[in-house]
Each structure stands twice: as C-alpha cells, then as structure tokens.
Amino acid sequence: MKIHIYHHIVQEDNCYELDLKQSLNSIFNILNQIKMEQSEFALQLTALKDQADKAKAEILAKIADLEAALEAADDVTPEVQAAFDALKGSVQGVDDIVADAPTT
C-alpha cells in the first residue's frame, strides 16, 4: 500500500514549526490507525476462515453419514437417491466456488 501525502505550509505564518509537527503527528496517528485496522481485519479474516473450515468438515461428515445410511438401507427409493445426489452436487458446487490450493 502506498500513501501519498502532500502538505502545503503558508510561509507567512509564524507557527511554521508547530504546524509541521502537528501535521506529522496527525500523519503518524493515521498510519498507526491504518495498521491497527489491518491487523484487526486479519484477525477477522482468520476467524472467518476457521469458521468456514469447521462448517465444511461438519457438512462433509453429515454427507458421509447419510451416504453410509443409504448404503446400509435395503430399499432406497429413486426419489431419495436423487435427493441425496442433488445434495452432494450442491455441496460440491459450493466447494467449487473457490478453487482448492494446488498441492506440491
């Protein structure tokens, strides 16, 4: 990130040095605030990623349980099998929104 700050000082003013110090202090305060906001944002992003990972694991576990129950059942109707297949397809579609990171 680049920040360009232009400061114009009126030379006629007797408070030249004070104005410059105040301006620099204001700039440093703004920069510190930006850094703090970015670190807070990073924490929020990490928490959101953890939440998404947890949800993904829970959903995949439930799908595995349903699949095992369907395989164990003797008489699964075509409608139930179609609904399960549609659910798996929907979950796969959500997973495909963001490509998986390549494994090296």
Q: pLDDT of 39-78, one tens digit each?
A: 888 898 999 999 988 998 999 999 999 999 999 998 999 9
Decide if 34 is inside a domain: yes
Residue with tokens 């510190």: 32
What gap in Å lies between CA 97 and CA 43, rounded to an integer? 23
DSSP 74: S
Decide if 7 is inside a domain: no
Q: How confident is the model at residue 89 (pLDDT cuts 50, 70, 90)?
A: very high
Residues 6+ apart with CB under 8 A from 66: 84, 87
Decide if 3 is inside a domain: no
Count how many domains the chain has: 1
Decide if 64 is inside a domain: yes
Residue with tokens 């164990």: 72
Decide if 102 is inside a domain: no
Q: How confident is the model at residue 21 (pLDDT cuts 50, 70, 90)?
A: confident
Decide if 10 is inside a domain: no
Containing domain of residue 79, as a range?
A: 16-95
Average pLDDT, rounded, for the chain: 82
Decide if 78 is inside a domain: yes
pTM of the model: 0.57
Decide if 100 is inside a domain: no
